[in-house]
Amino acid sequence: MNFPFQSPALDRLGDFLSLETDARYIRAWQPVFIPGLLQTPDYTWALTEANPEVLSREAADEIVKVRQERRRVFEESGARFAAVIWEPAISGPMPSANVHRDQLAHLIRMAKQPNVTLQVLPHTEWAAARVAPAFVALSYAHEASPEAIVQDTLVNSVILEDHEDMAGYVHAFDALRSAALTPDRSLTFIRKTMNGIIAENEES
């Protein structure tokens, strides 16, 4: 894909970015963080700042810029996106009440888009949460099986394209969706969590 700027972060993610840009159906499971395509700039910055492999403010700024460009490209593409997020990633502490509130408000906005499906996996569903580490499955037709599985490391992304390997991730995602709250109940949970943060902030 062609980004309107160049950076080392782009070079490291080149293959993944090309796959992500062409995808028509993206499925994401995230037990710890908000999925990258749904992150606000401040949330991404907080994660980047805590990464021991990011050694300068300039490098952190590049990562935030790349992720927001990825988000823009996705939002303009109309690709279908389905995500399951474990409850601790939603309700757990974030760097500040403002970052937390703004991030959840953005999730609510995105969940209302016709091409986006968000589900929250309750924290009590720990057995389901253990079926797989965080991953993104990329398909090039709306209902097709994944043609690539992507997992993040501290410094880059690992891409799996073997069909036998990918089958396990398909089953894992189906199990996660079955154990998760429905999209409507997930939206209610996210909104209730956000409202609780506002109330706490006002009391302090």
Buried-exposed string 53-72: b where 16+ CB fall within 10 A, e elsewhere = ebeeeebbebbbbbbebbbe
Its pTM stands at 0.84
pLDDT-derived band at 166 (thresholds 50, 70, 90) equals confident
Domain boundaries, the chain: 8-203
For 55-79, write each residue's pLDDT tens digit: 567 766 777 788 888 888 888 888 9
pLDDT tens for residues 1-59?
444 444 454 455 556 777 888 899 999 999 999 999 999 999 988 877 755 455 567 76
Q: Work out the burial of residue 141: count CB atoms within 10 Å of its CB; fewer than 13 is exposed, 13-18 middle, 19 or more buried.
A: exposed
Decide which of 141 and 56 is more confident.
141
Instruction: Enter the CATH code of domain 8-203.
Output: 3.30.870
